[in-house]
Amino acid sequence: MQLPPFERFRDGSAFYSTLLHEGAHATAAPHRLNRDLTGRFGSEAYAFEELIAEWASAMACMTLELTPEPRIDHAQYIASWLKVLKGDSRAIVTAASYAQKVADWMWDRQPRG
């Protein structure tokens, strides 16, 4: 995973929320939480994965007491999430469950001190 330098972000909250979002995608690997990432940009599978990653990032930010501001591209994401949520009445529960597993997986690997 590679992010732009810290200085390119509006503030620390923006950097860390992005880092956590991208880190959430990394948990999909087969040796981690094994989610299917074969959905192409614009597909419902892609939108669902973005929902999981964004939700997991939000959960982690809340735990860290970070309050990032929405980005301009969130409007596009939200539109795609709504399409998924309208098409599947269980999608919200499934996405929340996956996001919680992602957040738990990330926290379980943090050093305790």
Residue 4 lies in a domain: no
Closest to 59 measured CA to CA, from 106, 92, 25: 106
Q: Based on the structure, what is the number of domains in the chain?
A: 1
Residue 74 lies in a domain: yes
Q: What is the pLDDT of residue 5?
A: 97
Q: What is the pLDDT of residue 113?
A: 73
Residue 6 lies in a domain: no
Q: What is the pLDDT of residue 25?
A: 96
Where in the sequence is the domain holding 47, given as residue range(s)?
42-107
Closest to 87 measured CA to CA, from 57, 55, 45: 45
Residue 17 lies in a domain: no
Q: What is the pLDDT of residue 98?
A: 97
pTM, to two decimals: 0.88
Residue 91 lies in a domain: yes
Residue 62 lies in a domain: yes
Q: Which residues of the chain have pLDDT under 50?
A: none
Q: What is the pLDDT of residue 77?
A: 78
Q: What is the pLDDT of residue 80?
A: 85
